[in-house]
Structure 1
Amino acid sequence: MENILADIPLWVLLIACLITVIAGFVKGAIGFAMPMIMISGLASVLSAEAALAALILPTVMTNAAQALRQGLHEALQSAWRFRLYLGIVLVCIMGSAQLVTLMPQNAMFLMIGIPVLLFSITQILGWHLSIKKEHRKRAEVIIGCVAGFTGGLSGIWGPPTVAYLTAIGTEKQEQIRVQGVIYGAGAVVLLLAHIKSGVFTVSTGSFSALMLAPALLGMLLGMRVQDRLDQAKFKKATLIVLAIAGLNLIRRGVSG
């Protein structure tokens, strides 16, 4: 990956841009899934490490825009309300990112994909899992560890976070903002961690920067859809994408 842009054929670059626009659109519409779509799509035409590096800068920028859409004050309030979960996710991302070149990811994808799929399907079918207020701190610790650990290894920590926010009945606007805060802070930590791990270099960073424009374009289009969704439709759309994400993680775990 010493000169990745020079080595990428034009058709691969165009496919990468298209995948990133789609990822940005889904991100803008429901507030998550950009890393899952990008890593899955880009890894089909690029190496896994190049795909992981490519999503880092778009993830940082789109989450900053998402978190700050209602202003800095609201974003800071959301960060404070979910400070325990946020802190655990960041620590675990930093730690597990150093294992990205050493640990096989098949088992990890299955471990996160199966629960996410089961959760989303049961919710769609009408079984409403809810986490009681007195159990939320314990849930934040457990789910935060899972999200951070998988995030450092794969760049994906959205499904556990969305499952948690859905289970505690977070309102649409608040959920979108909280996701932006958590994912944005996590993306910055992921960037720093992968500078240290060697995945994010000057070469892969330039490729990641090239993906910023299609990511932001897709996100702007997706936000127009988000503004038209009421709470019920937003939750249903979120659960459908979550189910697809779970299936994709299981596919990756099985296929290797």
Structure 2
Amino acid sequence: MTDILSVLPLHLVVFACLVTLLGGFVKGAVGFAMPLIMISGMGILIDPQLVVAGIILPILVSNGWQIARSGLGPARLAVAEHWRYLLIVCVMILISAQFLTVISADTMFVILGVPVVALCIVQLLGWKPVIGPRWRRPFEWGAGLAAGTLGGLAGTWGPPTVLYLLALETPRDRQMAVQGVIYGLGSVMLFLGHLQSGVLNGHTWQLSALLVVPAMLGMVVGFRLGDRFDQALFRKVTLIVLIVAGVNLVRRGLTG
């Protein structure tokens, strides 16, 4: 704990744990948004590089849990069908992660905030791209490039992946298995990429490891209570709150 306090004071460690607990709860209840909540929430008070470092292990563990719940059979089918998208996402996460340490804090706030706002608005409006068969391959590479770049810099590639699957009209019952594989492999690449970049290091990994605990507790509670909520309403409220938080991150980046 002493090493963690050398990275963040106690009140910010508690704040990060509470934000992560909320993110885990929402992920358990409605199946999305934990990285977005952690990024936009912790970014209010915490340095953006520390935010990205903090989310790495919770993302890795939670996505591993999601793959285990879905089973390995659907995971193998997902890899066989979407290997091109998986490949470019993983490669771009590794590459773009190396640029995080050379970006200023103000620029990072904008990089974190703009995607949160844009992707949440897209989901709130229910818009989805429509891609014909002849454009599927270029779309796979383009969407993978965008998602992987965002993943390496901001630690989230989930919303672009959802749009990618919607554009390909992936059946809803298969989306969870495909997302589990994409998120799982991507989180491994995020872990490796930031080991190389130095963002996840001898000091910050302890914070990230600590945040695994509230993330898992939140998910357990979310799994148990999720059926009691109006899922559509809860999802909309979550997206609106994320938009407000994302706008605040952009404001911090632009005003310094």
TMscore range, shorter length: 0.7 to 0.9
* CA distance 1:120–1:64, shift in 2 (3 Å): same
The alpha carbon displacement at 1:246 in A equals 5.3
The alpha carbon displacement at 1:191 in A equals 1.0
The match for 1:81 is 81
Contact 1:120/1:243 (<8 A) preserved: no
The match for 2:168 is 168
- SS of alignment partner, residue 13 of structure 2: helix
The alpha carbon displacement at 1:65 in A equals 0.7
User: Which structure is higher in helix share?
Assistant: 2
**Which deviations, in whole Å up to 9, do the C-alpha atoms of 1:21-46 show, x marking residues without a partner?**
11111222333321111122222332
* CA distance 1:7–1:175, shift in 2 (3 Å): same
1:41-190 alignment runs, 5 A limit: 41-103=41-103, 104-105=107-108, 108-109=111-112, 112-113=115-116, 115-123=118-126, 129-190=129-190
**Which range moved further: 66-75 or 27-36?**
27-36
The alpha carbon displacement at 1:128 in A equals 5.8
The alpha carbon displacement at 1:201 in A equals 0.8
* CA distance 1:48–1:110, shift in 2 (3 Å): closer
The match for 2:202 is 202
TM-score by length of 2: 0.83
Q: 2:250 aligns with which of 230, 249, 253?
A: 253
Contact 1:117/1:247 (<8 A) preserved: no
Percent identity at matched positions? 39
* CA distance 1:208–1:128, shift in 2 (3 Å): closer
* CA distance 1:133–1:92, shift in 2 (3 Å): same
Distance 2:145 2:180 in 1: 18
TM-score by length of 1: 0.83
* CA distance 1:175–1:251, shift in 2 (3 Å): farther
Contact 1:32/1:179 (<8 A) preserved: no
- SS of alignment partner, residue 185 of structure 2: helix
Contact 1:20/1:215 (<8 A) preserved: yes
Letter in 2 for 1:155: G
Aligned alpha-carbon RMSD (Å) = 2.9
* CA distance 1:224–1:65, shift in 2 (3 Å): same
* CA distance 1:246–1:136, shift in 2 (3 Å): farther
* CA distance 1:244–1:83, shift in 2 (3 Å): farther
* CA distance 1:246–1:78, shift in 2 (3 Å): farther
The alpha carbon displacement at 1:137 in A equals 2.1
Distance 2:219 2:178 in 1: 17
The match for 1:12 is 12
In structure 2, stretches of 5+ residues that fail to align are none
- SS of alignment partner, residue 70 of structure 2: coil
The alpha carbon displacement at 1:170 in A equals 3.2
Count of aligned residue pairs for this structure pair:
249
**Which range moved further: 205-214 or 165-174?**
165-174
In structure 1, stretches of 5+ residues that fail to align are none
Contact 2:44/2:248 (<8 A) preserved: no
